[in-house]
Structure 1
Amino acid sequence: MKPTVSIIVPAWNEEAVIFRTLRYLRESADLAWDEELHYEIIVVDDGSRDRTYEIAWPWADKLVKHRTRRGKGAAMQSGIDKARGDVLLFVDADVEASAGHALALTEPLLRHEADMAIARLPSPAVQAGFGLVKGLARRGIYRLSGYSTAAPLSGQRAMRAECVRELGSLARGFGVEVALTIDAARRGLRIVELDVPIKHRETGRDWHGFMHRGKQFVAVAAALLTRWREGRFG
């Protein structure tokens, strides 16, 4: 049977950018398509209050809508539940024209050289925060799993579908990638990190940016605490 790559795009209030992200994903998938490999794009609208769903509709093979916001982890899980691919590729909705580069993450999995591939992104043009969230995530992952990562927060990653499902339900919220890396390392999965030129919408040193990073810090801390408890009492 021909392998399929399921590209899962969780989105919340991304009407301004999701068109470009999906367009470049679709174009890259069409260029990469051959008789031996199929692609599908799954968009999960996590309770958006804007036109994310309507804009995504023409570009998605499958479209899921949550009636209320349930968090990034829940959106990723809904995508997994709908996916039929042998490899799952997670791509954030705000990476726009750089989205097509994410397909490179599937290559080591399709060659059976890895079970998870994580994108190491270029440094932002302007340093937005103080590195507190990334530092917490990196140290926490190492202490709880022994795995040293350069990209602890990267949402751009590919995994074997069978491995994802063996790990069980994903953590909720912005701590999902941290928990997923810990779970994969604890299970002994083969993890690789690749330099991929994907660029996010950058947050600045304004009130919105600090609020976003504050919420992310709390979510990462909660994910680490949950995995610590599971490791100690599980």
Structure 2
Amino acid sequence: MTVLELTNVSKSFGALKVTDDVSFAVPKGQALGIIGPNGAGKSTLFNLITGNYLADAGTVTFLGQDVTRVPAMTRVRMGVGRSFQIPQPFEGLTVFENLLTAAAFGQGKREAEVEAGCAAILRDTELLRRANDLAGSLSLLDRKRLEMARAMATGPELLLLDEIAGGLTEGECQALVATIKALHTKGTTIIWIEHVLHALTSVVERLLVLDFGKVIGIGAPAEIMASRQVQEIYLGLEV
């Protein structure tokens, strides 16, 4: 089963084409990593998947339905969950209350209906010990965990992670990767933008490389990273 498929998707801002004829598909249960230099169009691609931006051309298909013109909140309730690069929790609420809020709005249910699911997500994301702490008191690692947990609380069929390992120490990064691996092992379909390559390649089955809005490669991580073009464009190496 294909969870997400983009077909010839393009997006421009004025004369600048930031996503250029992008096509790829993600089957259920797979983890796809997305890499590329700054300005390659990675965040724009996420915004096209979530509906924060609408494509100028092409088709976005989610769970077999054309969602190209579907607004962002509807896509959330269809099963598209997203974390953001800079965590912005409700700092005056507890960790558990943050999850309840995300779950209630994301799933369109009453809080009583989502409490058990939120408790399970706290366990899965190593946040159960911080459940009653204010979100504003969390360390960066736990704020990253909470950002991921809030995305999970919406009940996603597809989880989008946007540079979630950025800014962490090596030990913190390893701890977060272990959590992401565990979620993926349970069958979560993931698309992950990341600059911390060793973290990304320890989880994903495929890598997609963007450059100036175009897909320049997609395949197994070892194959992609061995590509001359990827090494020249992404790593800045003269091969």
- Settle same-fold status: TM greater than 0.5: no
Q: Which has the larger radius of gyration?
A: 2
Higher helix fraction (1 or 2): 1
Q: Per chain length, whose mean CA-contact separation is higher, i.e. which structure has more relative contact order (CA < 8 Å, sep 6+)?
A: 2
What's the TM-score once normalised by structure 2's chain length?
0.31
What's the TM-score once normalised by structure 1's chain length?
0.31
